[in-house]
Chains A and B, each alone.
Chain A
C-alpha cells in the first residue's frame, strides 16, 4: 500500500537553530512531493513541492526540502528557526498516475524562544 510516514509527532527546536522535519514515502514510480503547513484554525498552506530537477527545493518562509530518491525521503529544513514557524507540518505525495494526495499524519513543530 502506498503511504507517507512522518516519524516524529513533535519536534522541539530553539529559536535560531536549524530545524528538520522528516518525511519518508512508499509510493510506486516517481511521485510529486509536497509540504504544507497548518496554523490553528486555518487551512493548509502550501510551502513547497518537488516535481523534477534539483533535489534541493526552496519554498515559502525560508523553508527548503531535500529529495533523496534512494532513501525515498523528502525532509523539510530551515537554517534558522523562528518562533512564528511553530505549527503543524504535513508531507504529502501525489503519484503521477493519480491526482490524489497521500498525506502523512503531521508533525507538530514547536520553536522555543
Chain B
C-alpha cells in the first residue's frame, strides 16, 4: 500500500510568512508524529497525535508552531510568522497501534529567507 506522503516536498518562504505542511499517514495508522530535522542532525520530536487527539506537543519550539489532525487521518503543521531558524526538514511519521515501528514520509524541506 501507499506509504506516508508529505506535501509540499519543498517550500521557500519569506521571513514573516505563514506556512502549512501536510502529512498523509498510512491508512489505519492511529499514531502520527511530527519531527524537525536540522541539517546534519537527527530528528527532534515536535508533537504526537493518537487519532485526532494531540497527546503531546512538548517539542513544539514556540507558540508560532501549531499542529492539527481534525479527523484523525491527515495532519497539518502550521508555522506562523516564519523565522530563519525555522529552516529545516519537517518529517511526519505514522505507526500502527500494535507495532511501535514508525514509518516516515519523505519530509518537507522548508527554507526561510
Contact = CB atoms under 8 A, between A and B. Distances in A.
A104 B100 CA distance: 18
Interface in B13-32: 31
Contacts of B91: 43-44
Chain B contact residues: helix, strand, loop or mixed: loop
Contacts of B100: 32, 49, 51, 94, 99
Interface residues of B, number: 22
B102 interface: yes
B66 interface: no
A99 B48 contact: yes
A49 B95 CA distance: 14
Nearest to B107: A43
Interface stretch (B38-46, B68-76, B78-86): B38-46
A100 B56 contact: yes
B77 interface: no
Contact of A90 (B3, B42, B44): B42
B91 to A, nearest CB: 7
Nearest to A106: B42
Contacts of A90: 42-43
Contacts of A106: 40-42
A42 interface: yes
Interface string A72-113: 000000000000000000101010000111011110000000
Given A99-B48, A100-B48, A100-B56, A46 B101 contact: yes
Given A43-B107, A99-B31, A105 B102 contact: no
Given A46-B101, A51-B100, 12 more contacts: A4-B42, A42-B106, A43-B104, A44-B91, A46-B102, A49-B100, A90-B42, A94-B100, A101-B33, A101-B43, A101-B45, A106-B41
9 contacts: A43-B105, A46-B101, A49-B101, A90-B43, A99-B56, A99-B100, A100-B45, A103-B42, A105-B40
